[in-house]
Structure 1
Amino acid sequence: MRVLSFSEKGCIRKNNEDSFLVLSQQGFYAVADGMGGHRAGEVASSTALQELEKLVPQLLEFEGQALENGLTEAFMHANRVVNDASTNKPENAGMGTTMTVLLVRSNTAVIAHVGDSRAYLWRDEALTSLTVDHSLVGELVRLGQITPEEAEKHPQRHVLMRAIGADQEIKVDCRSINIQTGDVFLLCTDGFSNLISDQELAEEFQEPSSWEGRFENLRKLTLERGAPDNFTALCCILE
């Protein structure tokens, strides 16, 4: 797996509350988008990924459904640690983070996530979303109450329904898919996906360029559009 990455604070924010993790030898990749005042967002996202990293060796002992269950349990552990830190330290009050993980084992990819950071699969010249946003507008779209176009401009589009650390218990979405040579996985925070549409992603991925060139074009486009939020993306290329 070849991995490309960027993580930037953007054009307005003073610090970067996103975090990402690349453990290529273990086939483990993750992005997290922290929230909370006084730099607590940075603490939340980095803490959650640090806790996951500790558990990766244990996860690699599992296969199949046991691997999904193990990754879900790892999310729950990270949630408890972040929630405890939020509860016990006044400077961290109210902090939380999204978290989206890709774990590649043999011929299988396991995707787990909480929040509105996303995972995509590019295969056979087609882009597929592997996650659903755990956000207020995401829920309204799923219920048919607003359109995807309305969601992009909705004043409450940043309100999350689920986040690591927000509550003592958390529901984790987890799924497995078979992988094949040529698959490309994209993990990204909402600072990226809010500015780059799925159609634009697909069009860029079809460009006759290297993956490095395509990825750099997307990074530049995010900045050109003002990048009001931190933005992070990992491009994982199965060759």
Structure 2
Amino acid sequence: MRVLSFSEKGCIRKNNEDSFLVLPGEGLYAVADGMGGHRAGEVASSTALHVLEKEVLKLVGLEDQALEEGLSKAFSQANQVIYESSTSDPENAGMGTTLTVLLVRSTAVAIAHVGDSRAYLWRDEMLTSLTMDHSLVGELVRLGEISLEEAEKHPQRHVLMRAVGADPEVEVDCRSIRLQTGDVFLLCTDGFSNMISNQELAQEFLEPDSWEVRFERLRQLTLERGAPDNFTALCCILD
């Protein structure tokens, strides 16, 4: 798996509350977008990935359902650590984080997800969303109350319904898919996905340039559009 990445504070924010993790030896790839006052967002996202890095060692040799269950337990452990910190340390009050994870095995990949950071699959020149946003607007879309186009401009599109560390317990979405040669996975925080539409992603991925060139163009486009939020993306390429 070849991995390209960037993580930037953007054009307005003073610090970067996003974090990402690339552990090729364990087949682990993750992005997290923290939230909270002062620098609590940074604490939440980095803590989630630190716990995940330790917990992944317990998942060696697991496959399929057992692997998904192990990933959910790792999320629960991260949730507990962050929640306890947020309720015991006034500086970390109210903190939480999104967390979107790929765990790659020889023939399959498990995806685990909480929040509105996203995972996509590029396969056979088609882009597929592997995650659903756990946001107020995402729920309104699922209920058919607003359209995808309306969701992109909705004033409450940043309101999360689920986050790691926000509550004593967390519900984790998990799924597994079989790998195919040429698969490309994209993990990103909402600072990126709010600036680049799915259609624009697919159009860029169809360009004949190298993945490095395509990925850099997406980074530059995010900045050109004002990048009002931190933005992070990982492009995981199965050669």
TM-score by length of 2: 0.99
Separation in 2 of the partners of 1:220 and 1:201?
13
Once the two structures are superposed, the pairs formed by residues 138-217 of structure 1 within 5 Å of their partners are 138-217=138-217
> 1:38 maps to which residue?
38
> 2:57 maps to which residue?
57
| Number of equivalences | 239
> 1:124 maps to which residue?
124
Separation in 1 of the partners of 2:64 and 2:174?
12
> 1:24 maps to which residue?
24
Q: Secondary structure at the match of 1:222?
A: helix
Separation in 2 of the partners of 1:122 and 1:64?
22
> 2:92 maps to which residue?
92
Unaligned residue ranges in structure 1 (runs of 5+): none
Deviation at 1:25, TM superposition (A): 1.3
Separation in 1 of the partners of 2:107 and 2:190?
29
Which amino acid in the other structure matches residue 111 of structure 2? I
> 2:82 maps to which residue?
82
> Is 2:104 the partner of 1:104?
yes
Once the two structures are superposed, the pairs formed by residues 212-231 of structure 1 within 5 Å of their partners are 212-231=212-231
Deviation at 1:47, TM superposition (A): 0.2
Q: Deviations over 1:188-233 (max 9, x none)?
A: 0000000100000000000010000000000000000000000000
Which amino acid in the other structure matches residue 236 of structure 1? C
> 1:238 maps to which residue?
238
Q: Secondary structure at the match of 1:7?
A: strand
Separation in 2 of the partners of 1:29 and 1:219?
19
Which amino acid in the other structure matches residue 100 of structure 1? T
TM-score by length of 1: 0.99
Separation in 2 of the partners of 1:186 and 1:221?
16
Deviation at 1:61, TM superposition (A): 2.7
How large is the Cα RMSD of the aligned pairs? 0.5
Q: Secondary structure at the match of 2:25?
A: helix
Deviation at 1:56, TM superposition (A): 1.2
Shift >4 Å, 4+ stretches: none
Deviation at 1:69, TM superposition (A): 0.3
Unaligned residue ranges in structure 2 (runs of 5+): none
Deviation at 1:70, TM superposition (A): 0.3
Q: Secondary structure at the match of 2:140?
A: helix
